[in-house]
Chains A and B, each alone.
Chain A
């Protein structure tokens, strides 16, 4: 019993912190959503439906692309020489040394209509003179993938290093090609890493606000932009809260599902 009391005493500060700065604000946000008139029904109008749908599929595509890039990388990197592994990891982490905002604005400079990249591509006749690299859906997708790829690589690499590669040989020995061994043995083997990577990419993607705001146009707005507009321009706190709550649910439901799946796997 005394041990239990000590445990509570030790964890109390962190619980206190979380309750004060996370749980209470979240509840407040949820509560604000019910404040105005017709707030809840207003966010389910066609205006938001399009944007919500776009947010979800952009995030899903980002997640899928990040995973498909990170998986082969993890597979080969985990078996590479220690020196090469260290070098690659350094390259993956390096972007975090500069500010996220700075990097997004760097993309803007890079893709600018008067920028070097577009001029070179036009000169080489790879793109038409009237093609814009900036302010469209594709740009948002590319920059999101760029930004969140490390969050997919790191957990997948961490699991790949622990993976027993003689299982790949065993599968090949039993008649599998290396490709089918990758899908039948490697992917299930690092399942936990894949799940973590998916969650780590999907959550920031769905709440993305800066990326579509800086490099996207009006046709590539995401739900994060709408929330910002409701707060900064309209000062409509209840509607912003309702949208935020909706976003929260979109994020929480997949996590709940993955937690459930994981617990079942452990059992």
Chain B
């Protein structure tokens, strides 16, 4: 298949409400052509509405949507250069796999030989040549998924929209389909917009991710940017696990590092990327894997934070163990990667006294709460996966 690099998408101040609920609230951003772009957020964040606006099933109340510089806001779905892979696949039950894939070309009035050729090519791409004459209810979930992708791609859209396409599959299949999606994206070279609530899915395949919360974009960036440098506590908590600390800046140690005074916790040295001045409130986040844990007290090193604590909980996960360490007033989550044979060691266990340390560069400061969180701070709890660590003061 020829590489067609096109399909840039622009959202320009797009808003959409259902009654009093603002599903999409003045959203503006751009998706570069050829990207695998994910729109990530908890249920009800407006991500599906955003997708339906691009597909043409919904009209925005205000704002414009452009594809390759051309406005498509007013076009009906059948005149847009996009195709959709629906959440429940929406394969036509009365048609065979072959006829499902051929549907778009039939509508377009293409010649029969051409259709034959294109469908055969697609069946090969999704490796379903043998099931061509089966009906959708005779094939498995993963196969339906691939038919849905083929049925969309055969129309050579400039943008492929994927609405939680893996949600209906079991874990193993999901991981395989994710890789397949990535391969297909490399093959066809068009823009993929991937809607998901699963951050691991989004992280695994995306070039860029937009994190959506209450109809607004919280942050857009590469998976690494979002994970290592989240702008808000919502993003920090939604993508991966983290520890939160509240406090204020008490002094500047150097041009880059500041000393922070914490609630229920000793002072912390942190890289002051936000250039906050003395006295300002900070909301600090430290990822559990950035913290080292040991039974023996390590050598004190410059620009490192070092605290002692007691292990309260241990969750062994094979490749790593997750500890909850009580240090002063805080309960801190720590990951320990097992790069050596664990049975040769005496593993850390409950009530062990341990030392935890992290480099001042590894903490990052957040705006205390994102704009939305101030309004409804309790929503954080609902949206987080189970094992995210909330700040110690909450206990």
Contacts and interface: CB of A to CB of B under 8 A. Distances in A.
Q: Bound pair: A and B? A: yes
Contacts of A176: 78, 103, 107
Given A171-B103, A173-B78, A174-B155, A166 B86 contact: yes
Contacts of B346: none
Interface in B123-169: 151-152, 155
Interface stretch (B88-96, B206-214, B306-314): B88-96
B84 interface: yes
B389 to A, nearest CB: 39
A68 B184 CA distance: 44
Nearest to A181: B78
A164 interface: yes
A189 B107 CA distance: 18
Interface in A27-55: none
B316 interface: no
A170 B94 contact: no
Contacts of B76: 172, 177
A170 B108 contact: no
22 contacts: A166-B88, A167-B92, A169-B55, A169-B57, A170-B84, A170-B86, A170-B90, A171-B103, A172-B57, A172-B77, A173-B55, A173-B83, A173-B84, A173-B152, A174-B155, A175-B107, A176-B78, A176-B103, A177-B78, A180-B107, A188-B94, A191-B94
The interface centre, meaning the residue of A170, A176, A189, A191 with most chain B CB atoms within 10 A of its CB, is A170
7 smallest beta-carbon distances between A and B, as pairs: A170-B90, A174-B104, A188-B94, A175-B107, A172-B77, A166-B90, A173-B84
A166 B85 CA distance: 11
A237 interface: no
A124 to B, nearest CB: 41
A164 B90 contact: yes
A230 to B, nearest CB: 46
Contacts of B151: 174
Given A170-B86, A172-B77, A176-B78, A189 B94 contact: yes
Interface residues of B, number: 23
Nearest to B109: A175
Interface in A166-211: 166-167, 169-177, 180, 185, 188-189, 191
Contact residues of A: prevailing secondary structure? helix
A174 B107 contact: yes
Contact of A173 (B77, B93, B94, B108): B77
A22 B155 CA distance: 57
Given A167-B90, A169-B77, 5 more contacts: A174-B151, A175-B108, A177-B76, A180-B107, A189-B94
Contacts, number: 60
Nearest to B76: A172
Contacts of B103: 171, 174, 176
A176 B93 CA distance: 17
A175 B155 contact: yes
Interface string B69-111: 0000000111000111010101111100000000110011000
B155 A185 contact: no
B350 to A, nearest CB: 51
A169 B90 contact: yes
A167 B155 CA distance: 17
Contacts of B91: 170
A68 to B, nearest CB: 21
The interface centre, meaning the residue of A174, A176, A189 with most chain B CB atoms within 10 A of its CB, is A174
B93 A174 contact: no
B161 to A, nearest CB: 8
Interface string A49-69: 000000000000000000000
Given A169-B77, A170-B84, A170-B86, A175 B92 contact: no
A181 to B, nearest CB: 9
A212 to B, nearest CB: 38
A175 B104 contact: yes
Nearest to A167: B90
A177 B55 CA distance: 14
A172 B55 CA distance: 10
A170 B107 contact: no
A74 to B, nearest CB: 17
Nearest to A187: B94
